[in-house]
Amino acid sequence: MTKLPPSIQALLTLWPDLPQRLGDEWPRLYWQLLDLLRAFEGAADEEARAAVSLRLMDILAQLPGGREALRRATRREARTRGGEPYLPGADTDAAQGDWPDVATMSAHLHALLHPPTVTRYTDVYAPSQVVVGERFPIIVGLTRGPAEGPAAAIQARLNELIRVVLTPRGPELLSEPAKTLTVTEGDSKPVVFYLRTTTVGPQSVLIDFHSTSHLLASITHTLTAEEAGVETRPGKLPSWRLDLNDFTAPHPGLVLRVSTLDNRLTYTLNYADATQRIIQGGTLRADPERYRYQIIREIENLARGLDADGQPLEGGGQPSPETFFKYLERIGYRLYDELFNEELRREYRERIRGRVGTLEVVSDEPWIPWELVKPYDGEWADDFLCLQYDFSRWLDNGQTPAAEIAVDSLACIAPEDSGLAFAQAEKDFMRSLAQTFGLTDRSPTDASRSALEQVLEGEASVRLWHFACHGHFDADAPGNSPLILEKGQRLRPNDLAGPRVKRRLSADRPLVFLNACRVGQSDLSLTGLGGWAARLVGEHRVGALIAPLWSVNDLIACEFARAFYQATQEPGMTLAAALRRAREQTKEAYPDDPTWLAYSLYAHPNARLMWNRRTP
């Protein structure tokens, strides 16, 4: 067992309280500290371990309680070396509480760096029919194996707490909305929620399973309420898998969980302090796919000097940048009005605004442009959500986003006949990244569909896919809109169906960056992002996806990608913070172009890229 220096002992005693103490500063520091602890474990000699310890001491000096914890650890070490047994109460000026022994701390460090996982299954019982006005239970647990039939496994840590949040859509909840399950050696002790229906007809309940990092799985249970004559008997629901990576990312400041069942919005707000709030929202004016189409089509018209109905704006002709952004802000304000009802707006004013730094929207649809929401009130107006916060989104598909993407290989797809001059510059930049970090460049020999499919279906892993090409919106099949490859060949989301591509992407869990561009200042056009998100995120389990809502200027898109990748190289930088940095830099450099606003990030906001570094 490697001896732990006072710096690591002090850090381990502070670790459980750091997320709450540091708030929005914790995610970036978390990754820096984790890198240092990994470096200590992998150090070849005492000199290397001492260097890590010195860096930790510098960080501890800046942490709340860090100096005191380091002093206690140093005094304990001195007593131990002197042969005098350490007595926690001997330090009259030390903080109260027992100081763990070295063996306990070593075990803590090992569990932090090598979390033990076990396989578990969701175990849920709920009735399919109930009587109006009568109380009924929903029983939720975790079991070591499915009772019958095929089911997906849970990869969780022993003694980990899994928070179950129940959101009713129709029934009245008679107990608290959240309860906690503990992952144990055997089946977990179940928790029980009680509900009651007040109206006749079909209704539903959303059952979410959360780790300390992210939404793990979601089950929607539909039931029917009758006046009388039915037996309320809970039946077993299908089991689901909860995926946990070896290293979880810190919980976002807020996870805004959105359900759009029957075009009716329901919000479950899950804060980093494990509190939650359920808010019943309004009704969308169209289904989510059509809703997004209407919004982005309006932005397209705006770029052409037309209003939402296709009529010329005041003054006619191409709008000035000031006019364009004025109308764009109005769209953002309207999205806030339509998507945030009064109760959610009050929650935003009183608990989110100025108190949350990282926001993740987890939704059952890939279509609504949450990035473009622009909150406001009579006395203030915030920026678009994607610039106001470290912002990301995800789909509640039962799969978790990657916490870390270790980039040891990449592939860049940039057709040479696209007419996008700066797409080739993107390719050159990706090649330089491969050379700088010693990555394996698995870019196909050309950007044809056959060459791309050879890599996608091959045995070699690719942890970063970057596309720089035209995107085309197919109005007849918006969810299957293509990217344009060499010689005009088209790659659609449906072309990625099949076991070989799914197996490759699911195993690699790469970052996929779809930079769908346009030439120069030609009109904006839709990209069909929703279909790509549904396929890549919802079905193939990629670790993260970046893509624009509309086609972007190829010069500015190249600069945006460069700014993003460069930001991810900073120690501890998260994906959402890096994308926000790229937005800010691009907006400052090209204030008259909306490219900075176009991009969506599907990822855990506090996840990160690792650029093949052996030491931090």
Q: How far apart are CA 517 and CA 413, in angstroms?
A: 13
For 204-225, the pLDDT digits (tens) are 999 998 888 888 888 889 999 9
Q: How far apart are CA 439 and CA 564, in angstroms?
A: 18
Would the pLDDT of 282 be above 60? yes
CB 547 within 8 A of CB 513: yes
User: How many angstroms separate the Cα of 72 from the Cα of each of 8, 87, 99, 182, 562?
Assistant: 12, 11, 9, 33, 45
Would the pLDDT of 243 be above 90? no
Quote the tokens at residue 349.
């004013």
Average pLDDT over residues 431-435: 96
Among the CATH numbers 2.60.40.10, 3.40.50.720, 3.65.10.10, 3.40.50.1820, which is that of 117-244?
2.60.40.10
Q: How far apart are CA 533 and CA 482, in angstroms?
A: 13
CB 480 within 8 A of CB 494: yes
Helix or strand holding residue 141 (H, E): strand 135-143
Helix or strand holding residue 411 (H, E): strand 409-413
Average pLDDT over residues 477-487: 83
Which has the closest alpha carbon to 552: 511, 601, 593?
593
Lowest mean pLDDT among 99-108, 151-160, 249-258, 531-540: 151-160
User: How many angstroms separate the Cα of 197 from the Cα of each of 139, 152, 224?
Assistant: 17, 31, 9
Average pLDDT over residues 41-62: 94
What's the chain's average pLDDT?
87
Q: How far apart are CA 171 and CA 477, in angstroms?
A: 36
CB 276 within 8 A of CB 270: yes
What pTM did the predictor assign?
0.88
- Tokens 């809502």 correspond to 549
Q: How far apart are CA 339 and CA 333, in angstroms?
A: 10
Question: Which is more confident, 44 or 246?
Answer: 44
Which has the closest alpha carbon to 178: 166, 190, 194?
166
CB 232 within 8 A of CB 127: yes
Q: How far apart are CA 568 and CA 544, in angstroms?
A: 13
User: How many angstroms separate the Cα of 543 from the Cα of each of 184, 241, 483?
Assistant: 28, 17, 20
Q: How far apart are CA 516 and CA 221, in angstroms?
A: 38
Q: How far apart are CA 547 and CA 545, in angstroms?
A: 7
For 294-349, the pLDDT digits (tens) are 887 788 788 778 887 888 877 667 778 888 889 899 999 999 999 999 999 999 99
Lowest mean pLDDT among 20-34, 481-495, 526-540, 570-584: 526-540
Tell me the one-letter amino acid at 518.
R
CB 20 within 8 A of CB 273: yes
Tell me the one-letter amino acid at 224.
T
Q: Mind giving me the DSSP string for 520-558?
A: TTPPP-B--HHHHHIIIIIIT--SEEEEESB-EEHHHHH
Q: Residue 225 has what pLDDT?
A: 94
Quote the tokens at residue 345.
């707006």
| CA angle in degrees (0–180, nearest 5) for 457-463-469 | 75
Q: Residue 84 has what pLDDT?
A: 46
Q: What are phi and psi of 192, to 5 degrees?
A: -125, 130
CB 260 within 8 A of CB 288: yes
Quote the tokens at residue 434.
């491969």
CB 360 within 8 A of CB 392: yes
Quote the tokens at residue 584.
């800010």
For 374-403, the pLDDT digits (tens) are 999 989 999 999 999 999 999 887 578 899
Q: Which residues contact 246 (CB under 8 A, 6 or more apart)?
A: 114, 115, 117
- Tokens 């598909």 correspond to 397
Strands 172-173 and 191-196: antiparallel
Which has the closest alpha carbon to 543: 225, 289, 245?
245
H helices of 61-149, in order, are: 66-81, 102-113
The structural domains of the chain, with segments of one domain joined by +, span: 6-88+97-113, 117-244, 282-395, 404-610
Write down the architecture of domain 404-610 according to CATH. 3-Layer(aba) Sandwich (3.40)
3-state secondary structure of 238: coil
Question: Which is more confident, 62 or 101?
Answer: 62
Q: Residue 529 has what pLDDT?
A: 60
**Percent of the chain beyond pLDDT 90?**
58
Quote the tokens at residue 582.
């790229």
Q: How far apart are CA 127 and CA 428, in angstroms?
A: 59
pLDDT band at 94 (very low <50, low <70, confident <90, very high): very low
User: What is the end-to-end Cα distance of the chain in Å, rounded?
Assistant: 23
